[in-house]
Structure 1
Amino acid sequence: MSKSIVTIRKKAISQGRMSLYLDFYPPVWNVESNDYTRREFLKIYVYQKPADQYQKIANTESLHTAELIRARRQNEINKSEIYSAFEKEQLVIQAVGNESFLQYYKKLGEKKIGNNLSIWGCAIFHFEAFLKGNDLLFKDVTVSLIEDYRDYLLKAKSLRKNKKQLSRNTALSYYNKIKTTLKAAYKEDKLKTDINAKIGSIKEMESQRNFMTLEETRRLFATPCPNLTVRKISMFSVLTGVRYSDIAKLTWSELHYIKDDGHYIIFRQKKTEGTASIPISDEAFELLGKRRGENEKVFKDLNKWDVDRALPVWVALSGINKHITFHCFRHTYATLQLTAGTDIFTISKMLGHKSVKTTQIYAKVIDQKKRDAANKISLL
């Protein structure tokens, strides 16, 4: 690396004065701004055209002071060139340690999209509340601090108007965001300790997953629906397991056909941001209608408000006495596949789950149904 040269420069300002600053070439690292810089303003001024002897003396003294600072900075830079490898490493660690972990967390969250962006925003809000408005530097991130945050989340109130306590699974979701950030920071050498590997976790609470049986599903679709589009997307979700958010944004460019193999949807999931390739049946494809422009939405007239209004009426008309939301169609798809004998690993891939553990809840549902069936037969 070439040796840096420090030079005194002047910049004209108001009232016939000039501000003195140091010019570094090449640029040097500034710990406060976390960036390279070529300038350091000294807050020392000289008169551009001294009007009398006093102003001349003031100029001489100001230039002398600036020169002392310039020489000191030059020595500091020269000293850095003779640091040992260990000393240089310690300086880097010190500089990184003084960077803001909170700002790093926020920047990571800003890269998210869709509903994931909103969830990260809520998670960051709670982390700021935990910090009580204070910043958090990388050097101050510890196992005990993150575990204190975990305890905070398990007792925290919701951001909603009802101010209810966060559900355990919501707390888990927010906690996982900080774990993801810790993992990324360690990977980038901003944290020298893998804190994520040392902290405890929040155990997921198995949530109620309502679904319909095959008989109920057929009964629903045999019942006239107040909204034809709602019927189409509901049937499409039952046949494919695709979420409402992904159906709503589905475009024709994401529909593919492979000869001797069939139709596929290849798309980026809105919730997980992962890319999924899902084969769909001819029956599901026929629901989509006539193909239009590649960038056009498949269900261009879809409106969530219409879905929320029509679905309860439709379910009631069919005589199904269950609380069925649109997401229940995804659960129905999974349980019907398991009942039909499809292995859980295949279903996990079809649902776009990152881990088969997420899919195993459906296997437990089916196991319970088997247990209930077994208990129906008694010879006593």
Structure 2
Amino acid sequence: MKVHLRKKKLKTGKQSLYLEFYKGIKTLSNGNVKHLRNYEYLQLYLIEDPKTTDEKKKNQEHLELAEQILAIRKAEVYQGKYNLKNDTKGKVSLLDFYVQKKEERYQTKGNYDNWDAAQKHIEAYCPAHITLNDLDVDFIKGFKKYLDTVAVTKSSKNLSQNTKHTYFNKFKACLNAAFDEGYLKENLIKKVKGFTMGESTREYLTSDELQKLSQTPCPIPLLKRAFLFSSLTGIRWSDVNKLKWSEVREEGIDNMGIPIFRIVFQQKKTEGVEYLYISQQARVLLGERKDSEERVFKGLRYSAHMNLQLLRWCMFAGIKKHITFHSARHTNAVLLLENGADIYTVSKRLGHREIRTTEIYAKIIDQKMKEAANLLPKLNWDLL
């Protein structure tokens, strides 16, 4: 492609400056040849026969500006032809760009906190002067090795597999964004395999254990109601804690004469709106309806003291597992699957975005089936 500066005479007596992009010729089906051209009109004009100093000066300024635009267009054509990179964006600091992407996540606290935590390790590994132009595959591999062998927690422990997976994914998201937005010519992160996600232990209560716990007094009755409600519904602590009476719906009676209850709420973690049917027993745990803007579990707070009381309550019930409030959510998932709910329904009730997240609970059920195979007593037989 060639670019030329052209002039076109107007009826006003002025000349219009424009660029002609000549792309060659094309032979038509009838054998004729067509010249391929595009035009860019610059909105710059020359007085055809300037007489005053001002007119001559204005002509010179417009012509010089047109020549500068021509030079820019020629450079752009040259870059495209030889696949050259425009380095202007690439001179941005990697750390500055990461912070910019992190701040775009400020509305989602959990995700923002993960970006913030990962930033501390990126800063420890990456010199402040490193720009996006400086990045290469070895730099990315070096950061992965840093997370795997050097990085430690505040208590000087090596990072867990899932933490390494999370932090590297934030770094990966940053570089993906840099490529998508034109800061990187090549998506380098695709050439480096990330960390695999480790499977953490999901502590849960069996049906018998949940029954025992429900019959055991708790030092904080409000905590007992909230934990049991989470066990019967699968709702996270954050959503139980902020649940308002305006989100609790009573939708009549079904054809079996059973009252229909549903809660409509926005998940704090995913920001997705959920429409969740709950049992009559779960509704009883909410207590008497109050003002629409009042919290259902008013006074519930997340604290070390609350966690300690939860563990003591479990000990009083004879349960020696390390139970946290999130264990109620795990309990709900396992009990639903054990009692015949299909995995898709469980996934929807838990508000999972991907079915593979729910499949972890199916593995727990499968393991229990394997254990059940060896529960029967051994026979002292004589097969002869």
TM-score between both structures, scaled by the size of structure 1: 0.72
Does residue 179 of structure 2 align to residue 186 of structure 1?
yes
- SS of equivalent to 2:193: coil
> CA contact under 8 A between 2:93 and 2:129: conserved in structure 1?
yes
2-side partners of 1:76 and 1:230: how far apart? 75
Deviations 1:298-349 (A, max 9, x none): 2221122242132111111111121211111111111111101112222122
Could you tell me which of 199, 222, 228 is aligned with 1:235?
228
1-side partners of 2:264 and 2:85: how far apart? 44
Structure 2: unaligned runs, 5 residues or longer = 1-60, 255-259
Amino acid aligned to 1:139: N
After TM superposition, give the deviation of residue 234 of structure 1 in Å: 0.3
After TM superposition, give the deviation of residue 81 of structure 1 in Å: 4.9
Alignment match, 1:365: 364
Alignment match, 2:117: 122
Using a 3 Å threshold, how does the CA distance of structure 1 residues 291 and 159 change in structure 2: closer, same or farther? Answer: same
After TM superposition, give the deviation of residue 147 of structure 1 in Å: 2.5
Alignment match, 1:354: 353
Alignment match, 1:286: 284
After TM superposition, give the deviation of residue 87 of structure 1 in Å: 4.3
Alignment match, 2:309: 310
Alignment match, 1:327: 326
2-side partners of 1:321 and 1:217: how far apart? 13
> CA contact under 8 A between 2:244 and 2:296: conserved in structure 1?
yes
Alignment match, 1:344: 343
1-side partners of 2:281 and 2:110: how far apart? 30
Could you tell me which of 85, 88, 99 is aligned with 1:106?
99
Amino acid aligned to 2:92: E
- Using the TM superposition, name which of 109-118 and 240-249 deviates more: 109-118
2-side partners of 1:130 and 1:171: how far apart? 14
Between structure 1 and structure 2, the one with the greater Rg is 2
Alignment match, 1:147: 141
- SS of equivalent to 2:86: helix
Using a 3 Å threshold, how does the CA distance of structure 1 residues 108 and 284 change in structure 2: closer, same or farther? Answer: farther
- Using the TM superposition, name which of 149-158 and 324-333 deviates more: 149-158
Using a 3 Å threshold, how does the CA distance of structure 1 residues 322 and 187 change in structure 2: closer, same or farther? Answer: same
Alignment match, 1:379: 379
> CA contact under 8 A between 1:225 and 1:314: conserved in structure 2?
yes
After TM superposition, give the deviation of residue 365 of structure 1 in Å: 1.2
> CA contact under 8 A between 2:121 and 2:151: conserved in structure 1?
no
CA RMSD of aligned residues (A): 2.8
Using a 3 Å threshold, how does the CA distance of structure 1 residues 229 and 100 change in structure 2: closer, same or farther? Answer: same
List aligned pairs for 1:56-67, cutoff 5 A: none
Alignment match, 2:38: none
Amino acid aligned to 2:243: L
Deviations 1:18-59 (A, max 9, x none): xxxxxxxxxxxxxxxxxxxxxxxxxxxxxxxxxxxxxxxxxx
TM-score between both structures, scaled by the size of structure 2: 0.72
